Amino acid sequence: MTTIFTPLTLPNGAVIPNRIAKAATQEHLADNDQNPSKELFQLYKAWSEGGSGLTLSGHIMVDRRAVGGAGDVVLEDDSNLDMFKEWAKVGTVGGNHFWLQINHPGKQMFYNLGQTALAPSAIPLSNAGMFAVAHEITEAQILEVIERFKTTSQLAEKAGFQGVQIHAAHGYLLSQFLSPLSNKREDKWGGSLENRARLLFEVIKSVRSAVSPGFCVAVKINSADFQRGGFDNDDAQWVIEQMNTMSIDLVELSGGNLESPVIMGPDAAMSNDKESKAASTIAREAYFLTFAEEISKIATMPIMLTGGITRRAVMDKVIESGVAMIGMATALILKPDLPNELKNNLDPNPKMPSINWRQKSLTALVKISYLNHYIRVTAENQEKRSSVWPSWTLAKQLWGMNSRAKIYRKHMEGYTYKGPVLAQ
């Protein structure tokens, strides 16, 4: 019988030692040059020693000019590759796989970073005041984005990571192209779903062709954006069916974006989706399970489900349903050694306090700031306090974001991109 501790063999032959993955988390812990810091070394060492079979990094940006936050790590050339080699080494001390999640934020880039935000179409976010003005990306810039994903993947393999995950969820650039709400283009990159998915497919093909067969290539995609008229379950199913022929080793299902942040919990999403409001305990704790069960029957690659999972009973239900891997972020932030405790027949069920502010987007931001506080506790090897005020963590994060934005703008003065180092 398959359990959460049964090894998983991927399509390329790589073996992940168990079915628990530390899903990507946004840590804001890059050093002042956007490289991995000592704090990130400590954090990922703790997650590796905690027993997860797979660790996914927070999103690694493929372009220094385009970051989701001022503290994001960037990998666009080999000038500081030794630091990434050290990160890959310490992040696998427990025998796990360590993959880099690679990403471009598109228009989800804060205005105080002082950079130009690229998007499929010049359509602002609903909470546009916080974000840079969206400029429609040109054909030449699209081709550069594809090349950058390729280069970052080559560099990740050279540094010693076992794989990359291409981020096409949560409203970032590739996800923006998939959505008919944010992609109003009339060229070959917009219109039909086939055209809207073209950028994702070209990125996948470029990455897969540039790395070795044993290097894992995964994709993270929304099961839906949870916005009326946006990317939905049927769209996601079609995209995954096309990926069946693209030598993908794992697909992670998630959902939502900054305008509809369902990944922070059903109560944080501005959604009318029936499944996310289901009375079932399982549905509340594994947000996208029903869709994942259906996709697992048609996908030729393993499916990983992320969203709200904290209890062993829910994990067992997910694996029994045919889903291959369980992704957890919140639970492993609060308790990095959760897999080891589960293996010892403990079930601590780590949870955040209930946070339900009137403004849903603010609720999501407060939850993120609360989790970032505990990320820093682990990264800085601090003693954990029994409780903290979520509003205090939000104030602390906003102050930190403004301080890092100033450092980032200073860092970017006189920046010149030298071109893909390893492009073929």
Is residue 370 within 8 Å of residue 393, measured between CB atoms?
Answer: yes
**According to the model, what pLDDT value does residue 260 have?**
58
* Domain residue spans of the chain: 8-412
The top-level CATH class assigned to 8-412 is alpha beta
What parts of the chain have a pLDDT lower than 70? 128, 258-286, 361, 385-386, 418-424
Q: What angle do CA 231, 232, 234 make, to 5 degrees?
A: 120
pTM confidence score: 0.92
State the number of CA atoms in the 13 A half-sphere of 11 facing the CB: 18
Q: Is the dihedral of CA 266, 267, 269, 273 positive or negative?
A: positive
Task: Please report the pLDDT score of residue 160 as a whole number.
Answer: 98
Q: CB–CB of 76/62 below 8 Å?
A: yes
Strand 60-61, strand 117-119: pairing: unpaired
Instruction: Give the pLDDT confidence score for residue 399 in this predicted structure.
Output: 86
Quick one: pLDDT at residue 21?
A: 98
Give the pLDDT of residue 357.
75
